[in-house]
Structure 1
Amino acid sequence: MEINSSNLYNKDILKTNKFENLDSNSLKNVEDKELRDVSNNFEAFFINQILETSLKSTSIAGEEAGSDIIKGMYLQSISDSSSGNFGISDMLYNFLSQNNKKEQG
């Protein structure tokens, strides 16, 4: 497939047309879902940073090559599964949605 400016332009038009048929309630639902996703991702990142700092000197997978990667993957898994349980994402979501309403209203 050849990539040129007309192909990119046509793809941009298709992306834009997809959103023209949305009413304001549908758009609000999309924005709310995106805010919730961003809030949950931030909480997972925050938890991951706490775990990495607190377990810096702890060896989970031994001293072998690649143990840092295994440890990082393990901590990321814990962070992702714990996200939404600490209340940070809820507070952030509420803050962002209130600010979003103020800007729109």
Structure 2
Amino acid sequence: MTECILGYITTPNIEEAKQIAKELLLDKLIACANIYPKVYSLFWWKGEIDKSEETILIVKSKRNLKQKIVEKVCSMHSYECPCIIFLPIEDGAKPFLDWIISEVN
């Protein structure tokens, strides 16, 4: 296992995803971000099934920055309860993983 992580964040639209990604990059909390616009989400919310078009933000970073990423995203996010989760990167191309580590604080 590497010290690298993949973060998965949902946002209500591409503009919010871009702004969050830009701020995370400026703060050197992530090495890069991918934005997937217009996904259709179904979910439980306040006891009912809800639906929404959302934008997915995928970020690459290091494990020790997870809490700072959560704090930054929550401070900017328009959702009451934003989806912010992390997955460990088990393995990958060493030059790419080294690049992630070199680009974040």
Alignment TM class, shorter chain as reference: under 0.3
Structure with the greater alpha carbon radius of gyration: 1
Give the TM-score taking structure 1 as reference length. 0.24
Give the TM-score taking structure 2 as reference length. 0.24
More strand by share: 2
More helix by share: 1
